[in-house]
Amino acid sequence: MKPSWHRFAFCLLPERLITRVVGAFARSRLSRVAIPWFVRHFGIDLEELDRPLSEFTSLLDLFIRRLRQGVRPIHPEGVISPVDGTVRALGRIEGERLLQVKGVHYSLARLLGSREDAALFADGHYITLYLSPRDYHRIHVPLDGVMVGWRYIPGRLFPVNAWGMHHVQGLFTKNERMVTFVRTVAGRMAVVKVGATIVGSIRTDYAPNLERAWRRGLPMMEGRGDGRLLRRGMELGRFEFGSTVILVFEAGMLESFVVAPGEAVRMGQLIATLRSCLPV
């Protein structure tokens, strides 16, 4: 990736200040006036909402909306999409390198915050899913398993849209992220939740202090999964605007992907088949 004024501009971007200011507005009751515009501009399907639009108290309330029961059927086998979004990239991990955009790779060790953990997934597979502002923002479990640990990695909050993808090399290794490690009967999996501008808080119930960590600039934090049982479709966390989820699988775990880059996916949809589909 050649140096450019775009990359220089990104380095100067006050993304934390932007996130704080816009985030404060989105949380305020004043932001309710922007909800009709937001719905029209992004084409949000009101039929999917779990309550009338008039009951949403702020833009943030709409961003983290829940859906009506049954509107996202959960496929009973294989790996399901943990989010509504668009497939940005997928394929085999080349040693410890993943594709960001055509011709640009980044380090799995830097993404996961550990060279030792990265070695467990060497030559495995990955898929990158981008959530736009219009998408449902809750994150769900893609495959039955047991949580064996998590890691919060502080970082920047560059935009993760197409502009950021093309102008910030190693974008996903620079931004704030939360990694959840899962053991399944088919192999090991990591669910990487990547923060972005206006998404300074990745929320989970098993690591409740992430908002405080982000605001105070705390160092990397880790925790044990304590054997928490995860079932496909169970809620795992949420973003507060739009961002990216990267799923990483150890070698030999997947049979094949059944989606392609550029394809829109919905939470619960089958995205990959497994070589072993035994129940946990």
Q: Catalytic residue among 31, 58, 201, 243, which?
A: 243
Q: Which amino acid is at 260?
A: A
Q: Catalytic residue among 84, 117, 135, 144, which?
A: 84
Query: Angle CA(228)–CA(209)–CA(230) in degrees, nearest 5?
Result: 15
For the question of residue 75 being annotated catalytic, the response is no
CB hemisphere CA count around 25 (13 angstroms): 11
Taking the C-alpha atoms of residue 142 and residue 1, their distance in angstroms, rounded to an integer, is: 33
C-beta separation of 188 from 118 below 8 A: no
For the question of residue 6 being annotated catalytic, the response is no
Q: What is the 3-state secondary structure (H, E, C) of 94-118?
A: ECCEEEEECCEEEEHHHHHCCHHHH
For the question of residue 84 being annotated catalytic, the response is yes
C-beta separation of 140 from 235 below 8 A: yes
Q: Catalytic residue among 31, 58, 117, 140, which?
A: 140
Which residues are part of the catalytic machinery?
84, 140, 243
